[in-house]
Amino acid sequence: MPSSPSAAQTAAFARVSRRAATRVRAGHPWIYRSDLADERPLPRGEVVQVQDERGKALGWALSSSSSQIALRMIADSRAEQIQLASLIAERIRQAVDYRERLGIPEMSNAYRVVFSEADRLPGLIVDRYDGVLAFQVLTQSMDREDVRAAILDTLQERLKPAGIVERVESRIRELEELPPISGGLVRGKKAEAVMEMKTAVGAPALRFIYDGASGQKTGAFLDQRENYAAAARYARGAALDVFCYQGGFALHLARSCPQVSGVDSSRPALEAAERNFDLNRDILAASEIEWMEANAFDLLRDWSDAGRKFGSIVLDPPAFAKTKRSLPTALRGYKELNLRALKMLEPGGILITCSCSHHVSQVEFLEMLGEAARDAHRRIRLLEVRGQSQDHPVVAGIPETAYLKCVIAWAE
Ligand code: SAH
């Protein structure tokens, strides 16, 4: 007897350990390979029914034949079957609706449209830079031809981009045993755009160049957009933006600070920052910005020893804790930077300090900041304890979705 279409689609199942079942029931989407309860190999990028040890259905997941994260939940057990391409199209539409409901497109034409697990689209990232969409697939399932077609068609239909570019993380493709690809423009033509970011609805936008063809991993740190606006509300006096990249914070600080110094170790980033400044001379006519190529640790040590003072300082270093094991070293690095910065703040100065390592919890980050303040002999008041912009949703029960910390503090 020929099997029915639903039987063909639901043939694969996987049983998981009790520990994994508990986690899935609590809303966490990941099942590690070590939590698989039987030895059968998983298919490459398929929809698999997930069952607990006794065979009770927990829901549906996307499988990987190679990743340590063997299964990523995509639907709960109420769904009787999954047609993956149409489910993904539906979820993308929901992700777009969500950002529109929150009014994000009114604040910026550059924002994250799809944030992987947080949007129930594990392994898919989509960023919008005005007329350019940049997407990234990180799993076998999202790399399937039918799924790629659904992603591109849905994005085209809902957001009508002039061009869609693919960004490639070669290392992740290797881990997922996916063939190497070069990425770049996959639809349409334009791969350049001007991002616009407002600090309030109706306020004049700051503009930033996005070059989707330049081969950089990302064009901007969109997750900091709301923190730029918050920083602009408090910043005053002479400002210092440490780890400034292409000037995201520096330009926002220049809205209220007459003098801004931006520091980064990457010359191409500073060149882009200067181009971005040029693009906004009309709005920032009253401010001066100087860009400095330097190692932030050396510069902060020299300047704090020399007694230099600032009214506002931003610290936005790269992720120091890439793994849980590197946490103690990472915290020492954060503390060193924050201690130096606090020493350099004038009384009533503003510190805007960030960490994008999800291994560093908010509690640990605040503890580190408290210790830095104590060692710097400064008392600080926490004005705002912030996270990432709302286009990077944080989901209760999935701690990995909350990775960015941004604390704005007043140093007495
Ligand atoms: N604040 C930026 C993002 C910073 S990303 C924004 O909002 O867009 C981290 C930056 O730190 C990168 O631009 C990188 O070039 C820089 N960087 C890394 N190590 C550094 C070091 N030791 N000294 C100075 N800059 C460094």
Residues 6+ apart with CB under 8 A from 11: 3
- pLDDT value of position 2: 42
Q: How far is the CA of 263 from the centre of ligand 1 (A)?
A: 8
- Ligand 1, from 217, 249, 264: best to mutate by most atoms within 8 Å of Cβ? 264
Secondary-structure breakdown of the chain: helix, strand, coil percentages, each rounded to the nearest 5: 35, 30, 35
Protein fold of 7-76: 2.30.130
Ranges under pLDDT 70 in the chain:
1-11, 213-219
Q: Is the CB of 68 under 6 A from ligand 1?
A: no
pLDDT tens for 120-145 read 999 999 999 999 999 999 999 999 99
**Tokens encoding 268:** 């191409």
Q: Is the CB of 131 under 6 A from ligand 1?
A: no
Does 406 qualify as catalytic in the annotation?
no
Integer Cα distance of 92 and 44 in angstroms: 22
pLDDT tens for 85-95 read 999 999 999 99
- pLDDT value of position 214: 64
Integer Cα distance of 87 and 96 in angstroms: 14
Whether the pTM exceeds 0.85: the reply is yes
Integer Cα distance of 264 and 262 in angstroms: 7
Q: Is the CB of 224 under 6 A from ligand 1?
A: yes
- pLDDT value of position 73: 98
**264 beta partners:** 293
The CATH code for residues 84-194 is 3.30.750.80
Please report the atom of ligand 1 found closest to the CA of residue 224: 7
Q: Is the CB of 245 under 6 A from ligand 1?
A: yes
The residues spanned by each domain of the chain are 7-76, 84-194, 221-411
Domain 221-411, CATH homologous superfamily name and number:
Vaccinia Virus protein VP39 (3.40.50.150)
Provide the 10 A C-beta neighbour count for residue 106: 11
Q: How far is the CA of 222 from the centre of ligand 1 (A)?
A: 15
